[in-house]
Amino acid sequence: MSDTLFARACRREPVERTPVWIMRQAGRYLPEYRALRVNADFLTCCRTPELACEITLQPVRRLDVDAAILFSDILVPLPAMGVEVTFHPCPHLARPVRSAGDVDALRVPDAREATPFVFDAIRLLRRELSPTVPLIGFAGAPFTMATYLVEGGGSKHFEAIKGLLFSDPPTAHALLACCADTVASLLAEQVRAGAQAAMLFDTWAGLLGPADYRAFALPYVRRVFDRVADAAADLGVDVPRIYYAGNAAGWLPACRDTGATVIGLDWRMDLGPARAVLGPSLAVQGNLDPAVLLGPPDQIRQRARLVLEEAGPFGHVFNLGHGILPQTPPEHARVLVDAVREWSSRRAA
């Protein structure tokens, strides 16, 4: 794997073109996914290795992307922590975590016992995928996990999680440590099962100002990536560590200290200035606005080219800045992948 286009771009080595994959590339915008979901609910798909494997492969077949991402969800470890979650399709927790007592009652599960289906799906996928298409494993970053645990689902103003941070910091830190240890076990174990890159989604860290990011998010991300790096070192393999930093403008410099090797960014900032802040040792991933895929093909091609020009030829993995929207016409996703291939290989030639 160390020689795939994706791996070389993550290591900032020269590439003949820019690799591309799409966040949430398996999902509701694909008719083949919706067809499969008629007979199986979302969690059943996540918990059945054959189904998770098949859904992971759907966008690889249709779009010819340069990486696969395991079909799962960041909230899959919750039941083993002692928290029930349902999806309709948005996640909902019947009993959110609000007090010190609630945090005490959480378990830090051993991932091999809690979510064996994740590792079985990874082993299946490694047999099914072409060696040119690496498999990305993932988990939720500790702060984003804690946000769901405390809010109990989506939120408008996030007063429950932010209230906890400022009214009871020791309980907030205990919760974050619990999330970090759970996620570290889950992600390190995915690497041991054969995941060729490890990604943390910090969708909600943008709620924090710079000082609070350094206090409540950064140390826990670092803790997870240290465990992932140890797992990769034990195996003697190079495993890119990708950190999706949602709405990161305020604390972008802190991303240098996360232990990630690739920083995923959304469209709220341009990749050129972001790279100037991140420095020469980090690769970047992103960052086309997913809504661009709702527009016409010519616009998609033009916008893809602008992102490629901002990022420059090396150390860039093309992606959207957030998950693909369910309304996206699947042919538009293909237009994007083809456009990235064409422009970036023309530039390299």
- Give the separation between CA 141 and CA 260, rounded to whole angstroms: 12
Per the rule left: phi > 0, alpha: psi between -120 and 50, beta: everything else, 153 is: left
Question: Which residue among the candidates 11, 12, 37, 256 is catalytic per the annotation?
Answer: 37
**For residue 347, what are the CA distances in angstroms to 7, 18, 340, 343?**
20, 10, 11, 6
Cβ 324 to ligand CP3 shortest distance, Å: 8
Q: Binders of ligand CP3 among 124-153, rule CB under 6 A?
A: 138
Distance of CA 322 to the CA centre of its chain: 9
Q: Which residue among 17, 18, 20, 27 contacts ligand CP3 (CB under 6 A)?
A: 27
In terms of CB distance, is 72 or 196 closer to ligand CP3?
72
Choices 83-91, 164-172, 222-230, 309-317 (CB under 6 A): range interacting with ligand CP3: 83-91
Q: Tell me, yes or no, if 126 is annotated catalytic.
A: no
Cβ 138 to ligand CP3 shortest distance, Å: 5
Q: Take residue 309 and report the two structure tokens written for it.
A: 């020009």
Q: Which residue among 24, 62, 316, 332 contacts ligand CP3 (CB under 6 A)?
A: 24
Reduced to 3 states (helix: H, G, I; strand: E, B; else coil), residue 284 is strand
- Give the separation between CA 165 and CA 169, rounded to whole angstroms: 5
Cβ 275 to ligand CP3 shortest distance, Å: 22
Q: Is 42 in the site for ligand CP3 (CB under 6 A)?
A: yes
Q: Is 87 in the site for ligand CP3 (CB under 6 A)?
A: yes
Q: Which residue among 74, 81, 232, 288 contacts ligand CP3 (CB under 6 A)?
A: 74
Task: Characterize the bridge pairing of strands 85-87 and 91-93.
Answer: antiparallel
Cβ 330 to ligand CP3 shortest distance, Å: 13
Burial class (CB in 10 A: 0-12, 13-18, 19+), 330: middle
DSSP secondary structure of 12-36: T---SS--B--TT-SSTTSHHHHHH
Amino acid of residue 11: R
In terms of CB distance, is 244 or 343 closer to ligand CP3?
244
Choices 25-33, 116-124, 221-229, 298-306 (CB under 6 A): range interacting with ligand CP3: 25-33
Choices 89-97, 173-181, 206-214, 296-304 (CB under 6 A): range interacting with ligand CP3: 89-97
In terms of CB distance, is 26 or 150 closer to ligand CP3?
26
Question: Which residue among the candidates 8, 29, 62, 73 is catalytic per the annotation?
Answer: 73
Q: Tell me, yes or no, if 303 is annotated catalytic.
A: no
Q: Which residue among 75, 197, 245, 284 contacts ligand CP3 (CB under 6 A)?
A: 75
Q: Is 323 in the site for ligand CP3 (CB under 6 A)?
A: yes
- Give the separation between CA 182 and CA 185, rounded to whole angstroms: 5
Q: Which residue among 3, 38, 90, 236 contacts ligand CP3 (CB under 6 A)?
A: 90
In terms of CB distance, is 42 or 158 closer to ligand CP3?
42
Question: Which residue among the candidates 11, 12, 28, 256 is catalytic per the annotation?
Answer: 28
Question: Which residue among the candidates 33, 148, 220, 244 is catalytic per the annotation?
Answer: 148
Q: Tell me, yes or no, if 73 is annotated catalytic.
A: yes
- Give the separation between CA 291 and CA 260, rounded to whole angstroms: 27
Do residues 126 and 194 make contact, with C-beta atoms less than 8 angstroms apart?
yes
Q: Is 286 in the site for ligand CP3 (CB under 6 A)?
A: no
- Give the separation between CA 312 and CA 308, rounded to whole angstroms: 6
Nearest to 259 by CA among 188, 328, 329, 318: 188
Do residues 192 and 231 make contact, with C-beta atoms less than 8 angstroms apart?
yes
What positions carry a catalytic annotation? Answer: 24, 28, 37, 73, 148
Binding residues for ligand CP3 (CB under 6 A): 23-28, 37, 42, 69, 71-75, 87, 89-91, 138, 201, 203, 322-323
